[in-house]
Structure 1
């Protein structure tokens, strides 16, 4: 069953990669890609939670939320996972996702989305092309180089290489136990992908759309508050921001 789902997800990932013009190359910036599709992207750290991401679909509007308490590599995987829902789950109004669980997921769609993320971010042909260029004698340096090239988590890259047979179980187990921070520093790699970003990002367009609908009585105040809550905000937060802006205008000087 799992192999059947992975094959289906692999075909779909290849279709979307071709549609977006990636071929065998890595996705340069998945967050920019998401926004270029007209999807509202939000990020906020949620600690002590299994939530990796979620998406909301209302009429023709889509919103992705990414938990920035996770490492950047994990966030990229979660974003690719949500892209599966965007392209292939048009019937869903929304779902909360705990990514990178595969067959342990609670339903088929979530499993497909995880496998899609693997093949979308780390296409088989792209992996082989990369290691043909840097040399097939794989060591920790080349694994980290590959991880940075494909912009995924270290664990995701290790699992991918093991599944493709490029490293064996003993190598996988050995590399799984290394201390990432010190190894990355020793080899001169940035640690950006293996650290949480903990950023809060809410596009202005999202707040504008919400307020416009609320101001025109197209959504209730309760719904307005709920949508704000989805991205970790409240009406009180927005009032504070307005007061700060008003104060800045009052204290500005014209020369």
Structure 2
């Protein structure tokens, strides 16, 4: 298995390839949507599955469990990016939600990479030492909430990382695994990071698949009917039927 320092370096390298620096929080959804080679599919999956990754030639597809929380979805995308860009010789990988299970080395690497991609080692260290004015083993629940909100990570992912980097003991981290939304709200945060995608938006496809369908229609390679069929297969009835037309007319 790769060392943490190597995985952190790979995470920073990929951030830079996507036009991001090595320190700031990132909008991983925008990053994915603006990549011409990726298709991302949001779909309700088993609670034991965080996502799936498929690579077939030049086609790269990330499937995200849309019933997981927003913070976990961000982590899942980062996890799958590791498979797509650093994991050789695979066609499909199904990824578990559990950090502590006996995963194979590449799954463990992908988890650690994802954590560093969202919160690079130096960036996390800077926030803790310079913004929170804390040292290792000094973090309290309020600090953890501030860190996870800053980097956009789920409580499970954040605690796992802080234990791995020895900022928290496992015993203390265990006391922070309940009343997650309530504790965040008491510090003035909303619950977006800790809730799943609304049910009416849990099926959706973005990225290369949609762009290719549009390209084929414009080039008259496919009929209007086939174009609409492709979009519907990708759960994009909003495009076919103009379901968001009224919202699109807002100009401010």
TM-score normalised to the size of structure 2?
Answer: 0.75
In the TM superposition, what is the alpha-carbon distance from 1:5 to its structure 2 partner? 4.9
In structure 1, what is the Cα distance between the partners aligned to 2:185 and 2:76?
26
The residue that corresponds to 2:191 in the other structure is 191
Q: Count the aligned residue pairs.
A: 226
Instruction: Give 1:119's aligned residue.
Output: 116
CA–CA separation in structure 1 for the residues paired with 2:47 and 2:180: 23
Q: 1:197 to 1:83 in 2, by over 3 A?
A: same
Cα deviation 1:46-101 (Å, max 9, x = unaligned)? 2x442211122232121211111001111111000111112113532232222453
TM alignment of 1:103-182, pairs within 5 A: 104-105=102-103, 107-132=104-129, 133-136=131-134, 137-176=138-177, 178-182=178-182
Higher alpha-carbon deviation: 189-198 or 70-79? 189-198
Change (3 A) 1:191 1:35: same
1:96-115 residue CA offsets vs partner (Å, 9 max, x unmatched): 2224536622x332222111
Distance in 2 between the 1:158 and 1:145 partners?
12
Larger CA deviation: 164-173 vs 197-206: 197-206
Counting helix residues as a fraction of each chain, which structure ranks higher?
1
Q: Are the equivalent residues in 2 in contact too, given 1:42–1:202 (CA < 8 A)?
A: yes
Of 165-174 and 128-137, deviating more is 165-174
Deviates more, 1:13-22 or 1:183-192: 13-22
Structure 2 unaligned segments of length 5 or more: list them: 246-252
How large is the RMSD of aligned CA atoms in angstroms? 3.2
Judge conservation of contact 2:34–2:207 (CA < 8 Å) in 1. no
Contact 1:73/1:194 (<8 A) preserved: yes
Structure 1 unaligned residues grouped into runs of 5+: 249-255
Partner of 1:43: 42
Q: CA deviation at 1:124?
A: 1.7
User: For the Cα contact (< 8 Å) 2:4–2:112, is it kept in 1?
Assistant: yes
Tell me if the contact between 2:67 and 2:196 (Cα under 8 Å) persists in the aligned partners. Answer: yes
Mapped partners of 2:232, 2:94: distance in 1: 17
Q: Which residue of 1 aligns with 2:91?
A: 93
Greater Rg, structure 1 or structure 2? 1
Describe the superposition over 1:176-222 as per-residue Cα deviations: whole angstroms up to 9, x where unpaired: 2x311222222211111111114322238525636949x969xxx9x
Measure the CA separation in 2 of the matches of 1:206 and 1:24. 31
Of 113-122 and 5-14, the range deviating more from structure 2 = 5-14
